[in-house]
Amino acid sequence: MTTVPHLVPGVRPEPVEPEERRVTATVSSADVTIALGALIAGISATALIYYWLAPFSGALGFVVVSFFMFLAFYASLVWLDGDGPAVRDRLVGAIVHGLAALLLLALFCVVGFTLAKGYKALVHWNFFTQDLQLAGPLQPLTVGGALHAVVGTLEQIGLALIITVPLGLLCALFLSELRGGFTRFVRTVVEAMTALPSIVAGLFIYATVLLILGFDKSGFAASLAISVMMLPIMIRAADVVLRLVPGNLKEASLALGASRWKTVRTVVLPTARPGLATAIILATARGVGETSPVLLTAGYSAALNTDPFHGPQVSLPLATFTLIKSPQPNVVARGFGTAALLLGLVLILFIIARVAGGRGPQDLSPRQQRARARQSARDVSRFARHHPAPAPQPVLPGIELYPARLPAAVVVTSTTSVGTSTTRDEEQ
C-alpha cells in the first residue's frame, strides 16, 4: 500500500518550513560591483598609460582606450568565478551597452551642438521678426533675422502637403483596398521611386518647370520638387499602416452589409488614423529638412517674399546651407540660428506625430470614452425605435425563448467588442 499522508482529524501535519523566496532579478549586487570595479580599474590604468608611460594625447583616444581596458578587466573579473560562456555573455553585454551609449552620445552631440551654436542668434528677438534684407555681413546680430526663411518653409511645405496628402492617401488606399495586376504594377513603381535621390527630384523639376516651361525660381517650384520627393515616401508609409488594419475587422463590416466605401470610412480609416497621422507628419519632417531639391528650384533671396508663385523664396534649410558657407562670423551665427530653428520645427512635428500616433484607436481618453458611451446609447434607442421589441410569443406553450430586449443588448456588446478586438490585434 502506498503511503498516504494521514489526515486524521485532530492531528495537524508537521509545520513545513516556508520556502525562501528566490531572487529572480537578473542583476545581482556582485555584478554591479564587478562592473564598477572594472570601470575604475580601466580608467586608472588608462590614466597611468597616458600620463606616465606613453606619449599619448587626446580625449577621444582616452575614452576609447579606457573602454578597451574596462573590457579586459571586466572579462578577467568575470573569469574568476564564471566559465567561458559567462565571460562571453558579459563581454557582449558590455559592448552592446557601449555601442548604444555611443549612438545616443552622437545624437546628443549633433542636437546639442546645433542648439548651442544657434543660441547666439536666437536670443535676439529680431531674429524672429525681421528678414535679412537690411542686414549686411558685418552687421551685428541685433539686426536682421530669419522671418523670410520661416515663412518660405511654411508656405512651401504647406503647398507640398496640399498636393501630396490627398494624392498620397488616396493612392495608399488604392494599393491596400483594390487587388489586381494594375495595383501590383503601381506598387512596384512607387517602391522604385522611393529610391529616387532627392537631388534628382530637384533636377527633374529644374529641367521641366524652370527650363522647359520657363517659370522663374520660386517657392512653388520648390514645393513641387519636395512633393515629387515626398509622395512615394508617404504612399509607402501609409500603405504599410493601412495593411496593418486587421482583416477580420474589415470582413466583419462587409458581412454586416456595409459597402466598401462605408467600410473604409468607418472601419479602416479610424483604425489606421494614428498610424496615418504619424506617416504624414514624419514625411513632412523629411520634406521640411530636405535641402537638395530646394537648392535647385527655390532661388535665394534675403528679403521676405510671401508670394510663393513669383520670385525666389528661401527656406530654412536653404538659408542654413547658404549662410554657413560665409566667412563672416555673424553670418555663420545666423546660419546656426536657422539650423536651430529648423531643428526645433522638426522636433515639434515629431512630438505632434508621437502624440497623434501614440494612442491606439482603442486607447481612448476619458472624453472619447464618454462620447463612445453616448453614441452607444443612441444606437440602442435607434435600434429600439426601428425594431420595436415584439411581444414575447411563446413558441411552445410555457417556454419563453429569450428576453425581449436581447437585440439591443447584442448591439451594445458588439460595439464595445470591436474596440477590444482591435486592442488584441494591435498588440500582436
Partner 1 sequence: MTSAPLEQRRRLRPSGGQDQVFRVVLRCAGAAVLVLMVMVGAFLFSKAIGALRIAGWSFLTTEEWEPDSHHFGIAAVLTGTILIAGVAISIAVPLATGMALYVSEYVPARLRRLLINMIDLMAAVPSVVYGLWGFAFLQGNVIGLARWLSTYFAWFPLFKVTGADPRDPLATETVYTSSTFIAGIVVALMVTPVICSIMREAFSQAPIGEREGAYALGATRWGMIRSVVIPFGKGGMIGGTMLGLGRALGETIAVYLIISPVFVIQPHVLQNGANSVSALIALRYGESGPVALSSLMAAGVSLFVLTLVVNFAAGSIVARSRSGAESEG
Residues 63-102 that bind partner 1 (CB under 8 A): 85-86, 88-89, 92-93, 95-100, 102
d(CA 191, CA 177): 17
Of these, 184, 262, 370, 387, which contacts partner 1 (CB under 8 A)? 262
Residue 363 near partner 1 by CB under 8 A = no
Report which secondary-structure segment, H or E, holds 92.
helix 84-122
Nearer to partner 1, 31 or 380 (CB): 31
Of these, 317, 330, 334, 337, which contacts partner 1 (CB under 8 A)? 317
Contact 246, 261 (CB under 8 A): no
Rg (alpha carbons) of the chain, rounded to whole number = 33
Cβ burial, residue 386 (10 Å; 0-12/13-18/19+): exposed
Nearer to partner 1, 162 or 192 (CB): 192
User: Helix-strand-coil percent breakdown of the chain, rounded to 5?
Assistant: 70, 0, 30
Number of other CB atoms surrounding residue 27 within 10 Å: 8
Of these, 28, 44, 61, 119, which contacts partner 1 (CB under 8 A)? 61
Look-up of cell digits 574596462: 70
CB of 164 to partner 1, least distance (A): 10
Site for partner 1 in 157-216 (CB under 8 A): 167-168, 170-171, 173-175, 177-178, 182-183, 185-186, 189-201, 203-204, 206-208, 211
Number of residues forming the site for partner 1 (CB under 8 A): 100
CB of 373 to partner 1, least distance (A): 25
DSSP tally for the chain: helices H, then strands E: 16, 0
d(CA 225, CA 296): 9
CB of 13 to partner 1, least distance (A): 33
Site for partner 1 in 269-288 (CB under 8 A): 282, 285-286, 288
Nearer to partner 1, 97 or 382 (CB): 97
Nearer to partner 1, 124 or 286 (CB): 286
Instruction: Find the part of the chain contacting partner 1 (CB under 8 A) among 37-45, 112-120, 377-385, 390-398.
Output: 112-120
Q: What 8-state DSSP symbol labels residue 155?
A: H
Residue 343 near partner 1 by CB under 8 A = yes
Check the CA dihedral 133-134-138-144 and report its sign.
Answer: negative
Report helix angle 181-193 to 147-177, nearest 10. Answer: 150
- Torsion-angle region of residue 185: left (phi > 0), alpha (psi -120 to 50) or beta? alpha
Instruction: Find the part of the chain contacting partner 1 (CB under 8 A) among 66-74, 229-237, 359-367, 408-416.
Output: 229-237
CB of 58 to partner 1, least distance (A): 5
Residue 148 near partner 1 by CB under 8 A = no
Site for partner 1 in 15-54 (CB under 8 A): none
Q: Which three cell numbers stand for residue 255?
A: 458581412
Instruction: Find the part of the chain contacting partner 1 (CB under 8 A) among 34-42, 113-121, 123-131, 409-417.
Output: 113-121
Q: How many residues does the chain have?
A: 428
